[in-house]
Structure 1
Amino acid sequence: MASLQDQLLKAGLADEKKAKAVRNEKRKQRKQQPKGTEQVNEAQIRARQAREEKAERDRELNRQRQQEAEKKAIQAQIRQLVETNRLDRSRGDTSYQFVHDKKIKKIFVDDTMVDQLSRGRLAIVFVNDAYEIVAEGVARKIMERDKSAVVVLHDRKTDDVGDDDPYAGYEIPDDLMW
Protein backbone atom coordinates (compact mmCIF):
# COMPACT_ATOMS: atom_id res chain seq x y z
CA MET A 1 0.00 0.00 0.00
CA ALA A 2 1.36 3.36 -0.94
CA SER A 3 1.89 6.06 1.63
CA LEU A 4 -0.14 9.21 1.72
CA GLN A 5 2.80 11.10 0.33
CA ASP A 6 2.97 8.79 -2.69
CA GLN A 7 -0.76 9.11 -3.24
CA LEU A 8 -0.58 12.91 -3.16
CA LEU A 9 2.30 12.84 -5.68
CA LYS A 10 0.31 10.61 -8.06
CA ALA A 11 -2.77 12.78 -7.76
CA GLY A 12 -0.71 15.86 -8.56
CA LEU A 13 -1.55 17.62 -5.31
CA ALA A 14 2.09 17.70 -4.18
CA ASP A 15 5.36 17.83 -6.03
CA GLU A 16 8.56 15.84 -5.56
CA LYS A 17 10.51 18.84 -4.30
CA LYS A 18 8.15 19.49 -1.38
CA ALA A 19 8.04 15.78 -0.51
CA LYS A 20 11.84 15.64 -0.37
CA ALA A 21 11.92 18.72 1.89
CA VAL A 22 9.42 17.17 4.29
CA ARG A 23 11.43 13.90 4.43
CA ASN A 24 14.64 15.83 5.18
CA GLU A 25 12.90 17.84 7.90
CA LYS A 26 11.65 14.67 9.60
CA ARG A 27 15.08 13.06 9.40
CA LYS A 28 16.70 16.15 10.98
CA GLN A 29 14.20 16.12 13.82
CA ARG A 30 14.94 12.46 14.56
CA LYS A 31 18.69 13.07 14.55
CA GLN A 32 18.42 16.10 16.82
CA GLN A 33 16.79 14.10 19.59
CA PRO A 34 19.29 12.75 22.10
CA LYS A 35 19.84 9.03 21.96
CA GLY A 36 18.04 6.85 24.52
CA THR A 37 15.03 9.12 24.80
CA GLU A 38 11.84 7.75 23.39
CA GLN A 39 9.12 9.84 21.97
CA VAL A 40 6.34 10.12 24.50
CA ASN A 41 2.99 9.68 23.00
CA GLU A 42 0.25 12.03 24.17
CA ALA A 43 -2.22 9.18 24.15
CA GLN A 44 -0.03 7.28 26.60
CA ILE A 45 0.14 10.31 28.89
CA ARG A 46 -3.62 10.73 28.82
CA ALA A 47 -4.13 7.01 29.41
CA ARG A 48 -1.80 7.07 32.42
CA GLN A 49 -3.61 10.12 33.85
CA ALA A 50 -6.96 8.41 33.31
CA ARG A 51 -5.69 5.30 35.13
CA GLU A 52 -4.44 7.42 38.04
CA GLU A 53 -7.76 9.29 38.28
CA LYS A 54 -9.69 6.02 38.16
CA ALA A 55 -7.49 4.56 40.89
CA GLU A 56 -8.13 7.65 43.05
CA ARG A 57 -11.89 7.37 42.49
CA ASP A 58 -11.76 3.67 43.36
CA ARG A 59 -9.86 4.40 46.58
CA GLU A 60 -12.43 7.04 47.55
CA LEU A 61 -15.29 4.67 46.78
CA ASN A 62 -13.67 1.91 48.84
CA ARG A 63 -13.17 4.31 51.74
CA GLN A 64 -16.85 5.29 51.61
CA ARG A 65 -17.90 1.64 51.49
CA GLN A 66 -15.69 0.87 54.46
CA GLN A 67 -17.22 3.74 56.45
CA GLU A 68 -20.71 2.46 55.65
CA ALA A 69 -19.73 -1.03 56.78
CA GLU A 70 -18.34 0.39 60.04
CA LYS A 71 -21.57 2.32 60.65
CA LYS A 72 -23.62 -0.82 60.08
CA ALA A 73 -21.41 -2.78 62.46
CA ILE A 74 -21.78 -0.11 65.16
CA GLN A 75 -25.57 -0.06 64.72
CA ALA A 76 -25.62 -3.86 65.02
CA GLN A 77 -23.61 -3.66 68.26
CA ILE A 78 -26.01 -1.06 69.66
CA ARG A 79 -29.04 -3.16 68.69
CA GLN A 80 -27.52 -6.20 70.37
CA LEU A 81 -26.74 -4.25 73.56
CA VAL A 82 -30.29 -2.94 73.72
CA GLU A 83 -31.91 -6.32 72.96
CA THR A 84 -29.98 -8.10 75.69
CA ASN A 85 -30.24 -5.37 78.34
CA ARG A 86 -33.60 -3.66 77.88
CA LEU A 87 -35.94 -3.50 80.83
CA ASP A 88 -39.55 -4.70 80.77
CA ARG A 89 -42.08 -1.85 80.56
CA SER A 90 -45.18 -3.99 80.16
CA ARG A 91 -46.59 -3.18 83.61
CA GLY A 92 -45.95 0.54 83.24
CA ASP A 93 -48.82 2.79 84.22
CA THR A 94 -47.08 6.13 84.75
CA SER A 95 -46.21 8.28 81.77
CA TYR A 96 -42.69 9.64 81.47
CA GLN A 97 -42.26 12.54 79.07
CA PHE A 98 -39.02 13.57 77.41
CA VAL A 99 -37.81 15.55 74.41
CA HIS A 100 -36.45 13.87 71.30
CA ASP A 101 -35.80 15.71 68.01
CA LYS A 102 -37.52 18.85 69.33
CA LYS A 103 -40.70 16.88 70.03
CA ILE A 104 -42.16 15.77 73.34
CA LYS A 105 -42.42 12.00 73.52
CA LYS A 106 -44.18 9.86 76.12
CA ILE A 107 -43.56 6.31 77.30
CA PHE A 108 -45.28 4.39 80.05
CA VAL A 109 -43.17 3.01 82.89
CA ASP A 110 -43.74 2.09 86.51
CA ASP A 111 -43.05 4.44 89.43
CA THR A 112 -39.64 2.99 90.33
CA MET A 113 -38.44 3.43 86.76
CA VAL A 114 -39.56 7.07 86.79
CA ASP A 115 -37.51 7.63 89.93
CA GLN A 116 -34.47 5.83 88.51
CA LEU A 117 -34.74 7.69 85.20
CA SER A 118 -34.75 11.03 87.00
CA ARG A 119 -31.78 10.00 89.17
CA GLY A 120 -29.72 8.87 86.17
CA ARG A 121 -29.67 5.16 86.96
CA LEU A 122 -31.69 4.31 83.87
CA ALA A 123 -31.61 5.75 80.36
CA ILE A 124 -33.87 5.89 77.35
CA VAL A 125 -32.36 4.86 74.01
CA PHE A 126 -33.82 5.11 70.51
CA VAL A 127 -33.09 2.02 68.42
CA ASN A 128 -35.04 0.45 65.52
CA ASP A 129 -37.57 3.31 65.62
CA ALA A 130 -38.54 2.40 69.19
CA TYR A 131 -37.70 3.70 72.64
CA GLU A 132 -36.21 1.26 75.14
CA ILE A 133 -35.05 1.61 78.73
CA VAL A 134 -31.62 0.31 79.72
CA ALA A 135 -29.34 0.61 82.72
CA GLU A 136 -26.88 3.49 83.02
CA GLY A 137 -23.81 1.33 82.34
CA VAL A 138 -25.28 -0.02 79.13
CA ALA A 139 -26.26 3.50 78.07
CA ARG A 140 -22.68 4.67 78.57
CA LYS A 141 -21.42 1.80 76.38
CA ILE A 142 -23.95 2.80 73.73
CA MET A 143 -22.82 6.44 73.99
CA GLU A 144 -19.25 5.36 73.24
CA ARG A 145 -20.47 3.97 69.93
CA ASP A 146 -23.18 6.51 69.01
CA LYS A 147 -24.19 9.46 71.19
CA SER A 148 -27.35 10.14 69.23
CA ALA A 149 -28.83 6.74 70.19
CA VAL A 150 -29.12 7.72 73.87
CA VAL A 151 -32.05 10.09 74.24
CA VAL A 152 -32.31 10.56 78.01
CA LEU A 153 -29.55 10.00 80.56
CA HIS A 154 -29.51 12.37 83.51
CA ASP A 155 -26.31 13.04 85.43
CA ARG A 156 -26.05 11.19 88.71
CA LYS A 157 -25.57 13.22 91.82
CA THR A 158 -22.54 12.43 93.97
CA ASP A 159 -24.62 12.23 97.15
CA ASP A 160 -27.02 9.76 95.50
CA VAL A 161 -25.86 6.43 96.91
CA GLY A 162 -28.91 4.38 96.01
CA ASP A 163 -31.93 2.69 97.51
CA ASP A 164 -29.95 -0.36 98.60
CA ASP A 165 -27.75 1.62 101.01
CA PRO A 166 -28.27 0.09 104.48
CA TYR A 167 -27.20 3.32 106.23
CA ALA A 168 -29.40 5.65 104.22
CA GLY A 169 -31.61 6.46 107.22
CA TYR A 170 -28.72 7.42 109.49
CA GLU A 171 -27.40 10.96 109.47
CA ILE A 172 -23.70 11.59 110.06
CA PRO A 173 -23.26 14.10 112.87
CA ASP A 174 -21.13 17.15 112.17
CA ASP A 175 -19.14 16.84 115.41
CA LEU A 176 -18.18 13.20 114.95
CA MET A 177 -14.59 12.51 116.00
CA TRP A 178 -12.83 9.33 114.99
Structure 2
Amino acid sequence: MASLQDQLLKAGLVDKKTAKKVGKEKRKQDKVAKKTGESRQSEAQQAAERARAEKVARDRALNAEREAAQRQKAIAAQIKQMIEHNKQPKGEAGKDDIAYHFTFDKKVKKIYVSAAVQDHLVAGRLQIVGDGEQFDLVPRVIAEKIAERNPNTVVAPPENNTSVDEDDPYAGYEIPDDLMW
Protein backbone atom coordinates (compact mmCIF):
# COMPACT_ATOMS: atom_id res chain seq x y z
CA MET A 1 0.00 0.00 0.00
CA ALA A 2 1.37 3.36 -0.94
CA SER A 3 1.68 6.20 1.51
CA LEU A 4 -0.53 9.24 1.43
CA GLN A 5 2.33 11.23 -0.05
CA ASP A 6 2.65 8.77 -2.95
CA GLN A 7 -1.08 8.84 -3.54
CA LEU A 8 -1.10 12.65 -3.66
CA LEU A 9 1.83 12.61 -6.12
CA LYS A 10 0.00 10.16 -8.41
CA ALA A 11 -3.18 12.22 -8.26
CA GLY A 12 -1.21 15.30 -9.23
CA LEU A 13 -2.27 17.31 -6.22
CA VAL A 14 1.30 17.74 -4.97
CA ASP A 15 4.57 18.02 -6.87
CA LYS A 16 7.81 16.24 -5.90
CA LYS A 17 9.46 19.38 -4.60
CA THR A 18 6.62 20.11 -2.12
CA ALA A 19 6.52 16.45 -1.00
CA LYS A 20 10.29 16.46 -0.30
CA LYS A 21 9.98 19.73 1.61
CA VAL A 22 7.17 18.35 3.80
CA GLY A 23 9.10 15.12 4.46
CA LYS A 24 12.24 17.04 5.41
CA GLU A 25 10.26 19.28 7.78
CA LYS A 26 8.69 16.22 9.41
CA ARG A 27 12.10 14.58 9.96
CA LYS A 28 13.41 17.80 11.56
CA GLN A 29 10.48 17.91 13.96
CA ASP A 30 10.98 14.24 14.88
CA LYS A 31 14.68 14.85 15.49
CA VAL A 32 14.02 17.89 17.72
CA ALA A 33 11.33 16.01 19.64
CA LYS A 34 13.67 13.07 20.14
CA LYS A 35 16.47 15.31 21.47
CA THR A 36 14.23 17.16 23.92
CA GLY A 37 12.49 13.97 25.05
CA GLU A 38 9.07 15.18 24.03
CA SER A 39 6.70 12.90 22.27
CA ARG A 40 4.89 14.30 19.31
CA GLN A 41 1.20 14.33 19.94
CA SER A 42 -1.44 15.93 17.89
CA GLU A 43 -3.68 18.55 19.43
CA ALA A 44 -6.56 16.09 19.41
CA GLN A 45 -4.54 13.59 21.44
CA GLN A 46 -3.56 16.31 23.91
CA ALA A 47 -7.19 17.45 24.25
CA ALA A 48 -8.29 13.86 24.80
CA GLU A 49 -5.63 13.42 27.47
CA ARG A 50 -6.74 16.62 29.24
CA ALA A 51 -10.39 15.50 29.12
CA ARG A 52 -9.42 12.10 30.53
CA ALA A 53 -7.49 13.76 33.39
CA GLU A 54 -10.42 16.09 34.16
CA LYS A 55 -12.81 13.13 34.20
CA VAL A 56 -10.55 11.22 36.61
CA ALA A 57 -10.38 14.25 38.94
CA ARG A 58 -14.16 14.71 38.78
CA ASP A 59 -14.71 11.00 39.49
CA ARG A 60 -12.38 11.14 42.50
CA ALA A 61 -14.27 14.13 43.91
CA LEU A 62 -17.62 12.35 43.46
CA ASN A 63 -16.29 9.21 45.11
CA ALA A 64 -15.01 11.25 48.05
CA GLU A 65 -18.45 12.85 48.47
CA ARG A 66 -20.17 9.45 48.33
CA GLU A 67 -17.77 8.01 50.90
CA ALA A 68 -18.33 10.98 53.22
CA ALA A 69 -22.10 10.54 52.94
CA GLN A 70 -21.78 6.82 53.68
CA ARG A 71 -19.61 7.57 56.73
CA GLN A 72 -22.20 10.04 58.01
CA LYS A 73 -24.97 7.46 57.55
CA ALA A 74 -22.92 4.83 59.37
CA ILE A 75 -22.21 7.19 62.27
CA ALA A 76 -25.91 8.12 62.52
CA ALA A 77 -26.83 4.41 62.56
CA GLN A 78 -24.25 3.72 65.29
CA ILE A 79 -25.60 6.57 67.42
CA LYS A 80 -29.19 5.41 66.96
CA GLN A 81 -28.25 1.85 67.90
CA MET A 82 -26.32 2.99 70.99
CA ILE A 83 -29.30 5.07 72.15
CA GLU A 84 -31.81 2.26 71.56
CA HIS A 85 -29.73 -0.32 73.44
CA ASN A 86 -28.85 1.93 76.39
CA LYS A 87 -31.74 4.33 76.93
CA GLN A 88 -33.02 4.58 80.47
CA PRO A 89 -36.64 5.06 81.53
CA LYS A 90 -37.59 8.66 82.26
CA GLY A 91 -39.85 7.67 85.12
CA GLU A 92 -43.34 6.41 85.65
CA ALA A 93 -46.01 8.31 83.81
CA GLY A 94 -48.21 10.25 86.15
CA LYS A 95 -48.66 13.50 87.94
CA ASP A 96 -45.57 13.03 90.13
CA ASP A 97 -43.24 13.66 87.16
CA ILE A 98 -41.08 16.79 87.28
CA ALA A 99 -40.36 19.05 84.33
CA TYR A 100 -36.59 19.03 83.78
CA HIS A 101 -35.40 22.03 81.73
CA PHE A 102 -32.22 22.04 79.65
CA THR A 103 -30.76 23.97 76.75
CA PHE A 104 -30.33 22.32 73.38
CA ASP A 105 -29.35 24.13 70.19
CA LYS A 106 -29.69 27.53 71.94
CA LYS A 107 -33.29 26.76 72.96
CA VAL A 108 -34.73 25.79 76.33
CA LYS A 109 -36.35 22.36 76.14
CA LYS A 110 -38.00 20.25 78.81
CA ILE A 111 -38.71 16.63 79.50
CA TYR A 112 -40.74 15.11 82.30
CA VAL A 113 -38.77 12.82 84.61
CA SER A 114 -39.22 11.24 88.02
CA ALA A 115 -37.47 12.64 91.08
CA ALA A 116 -34.93 9.78 91.10
CA VAL A 117 -34.04 10.35 87.45
CA GLN A 118 -33.71 14.09 88.12
CA ASP A 119 -31.18 13.32 90.87
CA HIS A 120 -29.21 11.16 88.44
CA LEU A 121 -29.26 13.94 85.83
CA VAL A 122 -28.06 16.55 88.32
CA ALA A 123 -25.32 14.22 89.61
CA GLY A 124 -24.17 13.55 86.04
CA ARG A 125 -24.79 9.79 86.04
CA LEU A 126 -27.35 10.18 83.25
CA GLN A 127 -27.21 12.52 80.27
CA ILE A 128 -29.72 13.63 77.70
CA VAL A 129 -29.14 12.80 74.04
CA GLY A 130 -31.31 13.38 71.01
CA ASP A 131 -32.06 15.28 67.91
CA GLY A 132 -34.47 18.16 67.41
CA GLU A 133 -37.62 16.81 69.10
CA GLN A 134 -37.00 13.40 70.68
CA PHE A 135 -34.74 13.17 73.71
CA ASP A 136 -33.64 10.07 75.59
CA LEU A 137 -31.61 9.41 78.74
CA VAL A 138 -28.44 7.32 78.57
CA PRO A 139 -25.61 6.62 81.03
CA ARG A 140 -22.75 9.12 81.01
CA VAL A 141 -20.28 6.58 79.52
CA ILE A 142 -22.54 5.98 76.52
CA ALA A 143 -23.14 9.72 76.12
CA GLU A 144 -19.37 10.23 75.93
CA LYS A 145 -19.11 7.62 73.18
CA ILE A 146 -21.94 9.30 71.29
CA ALA A 147 -20.25 12.70 71.73
CA GLU A 148 -17.09 11.30 70.10
CA ARG A 149 -19.12 10.51 66.99
CA ASN A 150 -21.41 13.57 66.97
CA PRO A 151 -21.11 16.13 69.78
CA ASN A 152 -24.23 17.99 68.60
CA THR A 153 -26.56 15.22 69.79
CA VAL A 154 -25.48 15.26 73.44
CA VAL A 155 -26.89 17.85 75.84
CA ALA A 156 -24.17 19.34 78.02
CA PRO A 157 -24.54 18.35 81.68
CA PRO A 158 -25.36 21.11 84.18
CA GLU A 159 -22.37 23.00 85.49
CA ASN A 160 -21.60 22.87 89.19
CA ASN A 161 -20.08 26.30 89.58
CA THR A 162 -19.05 26.53 93.23
CA SER A 163 -16.67 29.47 92.89
CA VAL A 164 -17.87 32.54 94.77
CA ASP A 165 -16.95 36.08 93.81
CA GLU A 166 -15.74 38.15 96.80
CA ASP A 167 -17.82 41.19 95.83
CA ASP A 168 -21.02 39.19 95.26
CA PRO A 169 -23.77 40.61 97.52
CA TYR A 170 -25.72 37.33 97.23
CA ALA A 171 -22.79 35.09 98.18
CA GLY A 172 -24.57 33.91 101.30
CA TYR A 173 -27.62 32.72 99.38
CA GLU A 174 -27.06 29.33 97.79
CA ILE A 175 -29.17 28.36 94.80
CA PRO A 176 -30.40 24.77 94.98
CA ASP A 177 -29.74 22.42 92.03
CA ASP A 178 -33.33 21.28 91.86
CA LEU A 179 -34.78 24.79 91.53
CA MET A 180 -38.04 24.59 89.61
CA TRP A 181 -38.92 27.31 87.10
TM-score (norm 1): 0.70
Matching residue of 2:41: 40
Residue pair 1:126, 1:132 contacting (<8 A) in 2 also: yes
> Residue 151 of structure 1: CA displacement?
1.4
> Residue 156 of structure 1: CA displacement?
8.0
Aligned residue pairs: how many?
Answer: 146
Matching residue of 1:12: none
> Is 1:108 aligned to 2:104, yes or no?
no
Residue pair 1:143, 1:149 contacting (<8 A) in 2 also: yes
The answer to which of 135-144 and 35-44 deviates more is: 35-44
> Is 1:96 aligned to 2:100, yes or no?
yes
> Residue 128 of structure 1: CA displacement?
7.6
| Unaligned ranges ≥5, structure 2 | 1-6, 162-181
CA distance in structure 2 between the aligned counterparts of 1:116 and 1:26, rounded to whole angstroms: 92
> Residue 104 of structure 1: CA displacement?
0.9
Residue pair 1:122, 1:134 contacting (<8 A) in 2 also: yes
Percentage of pairs with the same residue: 37
> Residue 153 of structure 1: CA displacement?
2.5
Runs of 4+ in 1 over 2 A off after TM superposition: 19-25, 33-39, 152-157
Q: Which amino acid aligns with 1:124?
A: I
Residue pair 1:120, 1:155 contacting (<8 A) in 2 also: no
Residue pair 1:120, 1:156 contacting (<8 A) in 2 also: no
The answer to which of 81-90 and 127-136 deviates more is: 127-136
Matching residue of 1:84: 85
CA distance in structure 2 between the aligned counterparts of 1:130 and 1:46, rounded to whole angstroms: 55
TM-score (norm 2): 0.69
Residue pair 2:91, 2:117 contacting (<8 A) in 1 also: no
CA distance in structure 2 between the aligned counterparts of 1:21 and 1:106, rounded to whole angstroms: 96
Q: Which amino acid aligns with 1:140?
A: E
Query: Tell me, what secondary structure is at the counterpart of 1:144?
Result: helix
CA distance in structure 1 between the aligned counterparts of 2:158 and 2:145, rounded to whole angstroms: 15
Query: Tell me, what secondary structure is at the counterpart of 2:82?
Result: helix
Query: Tell me, what secondary structure is at the counterpart of 2:119?
Result: helix
Residue pair 1:87, 1:132 contacting (<8 A) in 2 also: yes
Query: Tell me, what secondary structure is at the counterpart of 2:90?
Result: coil
